[in-house]
């Protein structure tokens, strides 16, 4: 099983839609989880951390399910500017602190 | 406050040439990471340093790749000799602690012809 797995998409959604991404991780001892956003030809940027109790930041909600070893990202009221690739991040095994998923591509269409 | 700085932003070189990528982490960050990103393989960790000491270089593809961190504010990733399959975007990132969020530089887009 890969350390971090994401559906690559693309997810094509209309403006105003709600979209959810899931990501599974293999290291059951994982403590730190993040979602990053990467725009085309740019560097990954931190979108939000994921806390055990779940957390919300405006239109974005992140959830952690330890039993099933997945994290999710929910985007409500999608905007054109949300179009990007969303990378899931979880701790790796061995000496690897964090492992990045390959990303899920989102296109929000007018 | 300056973020992670990388240079050059773009590098085009011929196969067999030496390539040196440079990185300045965020001041006060003890961890520095080098990643390579391609469409096929995503973001791969090549090597990381803690307080200027290499901790894990198991992601370095082969002996052609080497990395150094002579002080807390500077690191280099060198490829010698370069090959076309090294073409990718190379990112440097830094963080306060190992499992904290990482901050990325703008990347170096390397093309080896």
- Mean pLDDT, 10 residues at a time, over chain B (113 residues)? 93 98 97 96 95 95 94 97 97 94 97 98
Tell whether B53 is within 8 A of chain A (Cβ). Answer: no
**Is there a contact between A101 and B45 if contact means CB atoms under 8 Å apart?**
no
Section A88-107 average pLDDT:
91
Q: Does B100 touch chain A (CB under 8 A)?
A: yes
Per-residue pLDDT for A82 more than 90? yes
pLDDT for A30 equals: 72
Q: What angle do CA A43, A47, A53 make, to 5 degrees?
A: 150
Whether A96 and B56 lie within 8 Å, measured CB to CB: yes
The whole-number pLDDT of residue B62 equals 86
Q: What percent of chain A has pLDDT over 70?
A: 99
| CB B9 within 8 Å of CB B105 | no
Longest dimension (CA), chain A: 45
pLDDT at B1: 64
Q: Please check whether residue B50 is in contact with residue B30, taking contact to mean a CB–CB distance below 8 angstroms.
A: yes
CA–CA min distance B74, chain A (Å): 19
Distance from CA of A41 to the nearest CA of B (A): 9
- Give CB contacts under 8 A, 24+ apart, made by B53-62: B55/A95, B56/A94, B56/A95, B56/A96, B58/A94, B58/A95
Res B92: pLDDT: 98
DSSP B62: S
**Tell me, what's the pLDDT at A1?**
65
Nearest chain B Cα distance for residue A45, angstroms: 7
Average pLDDT over residues A74-102: 94
Rounded CA separation B22/A12 (Å) = 37
pLDDT at A42: 97
Coil, strand, or helix at residue A110? coil
Q: Which residue of A has its CA nearest to B41?
A: A102
Give the tokens for residue A44: 């990954």
Give residues with Cβ within 8 angstroms of A51, minimum separation 6: A62, A64
pLDDT score of A44: 98
Per-residue model confidence (pLDDT) at position A53: 82
What confidence category does residue A92 fall into, taking pLDDT thresholds of 50, 70 and 90? confident
How much is the pLDDT for A94? 82
Alpha-carbon torsion (A22, A47, A9, A82), positive or negative: positive
User: How many Cβ contacts (< 8 angstroms) between chains A and B?
Assistant: 44
Torsion-angle region of B72 (φ positive above 0: left; ψ -120 to 50: alpha; else: beta):
alpha
Give the percent of chain A with pLDDT over 90: 73
A11-45: pLDDT as tens digits: 999 999 999 999 999 887 777 899 999 999 999 99
pLDDT over threshold 90, residue A95: no
Cβ of residue B99 closer than 8 Å to a chain A Cβ: yes
């Amino acid at each position: 099983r890969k350390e971090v797995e994401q559906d690559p998409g693309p997810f094509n959604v209309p403006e105003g839609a709600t979209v959810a991404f899931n990501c599974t991780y293999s290291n059951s001892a994982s403590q730190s989880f993040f979602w990053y956003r990467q725009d085309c030809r740019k560097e990954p940027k931190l979108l939000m951390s994921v806390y055990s109790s779940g957390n919300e930041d405006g239109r974005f909600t992140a959830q952690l399910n330890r039993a099933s070893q997945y994290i999710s990202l929910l985007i409500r009221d999608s905007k054109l500017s949300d179009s990007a690739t969303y990378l899931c991040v979880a701790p790796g095994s061995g000496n690897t602190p964090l492992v990045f998923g390959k990303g899920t591509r989102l296109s929000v269409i007018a | 406050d300056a973020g992670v700085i990388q240079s050059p932003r773009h590098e085009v070189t011929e196969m067999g040439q030496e390539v040196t990528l440079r990185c300045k982490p965020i001041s006060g960050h003890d961890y520095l990471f080098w990643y390579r990103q391609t469409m096929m393989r995503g973001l791969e960790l090549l090597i990381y340093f803690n307080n200027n000491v290499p901790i894990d270089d198991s992601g370095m593809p082969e002996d052609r790749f080497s990395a150094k961190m002579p002080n807390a504010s500077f690191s280099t990733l060198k490829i010698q000799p370069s090959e076309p399959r090294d073409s990718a975007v190379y990112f440097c990132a830094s963080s306060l602690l190992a499992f904290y969020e990482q901050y990325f530089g703008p990347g170096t887009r390397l093309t080896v012809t």
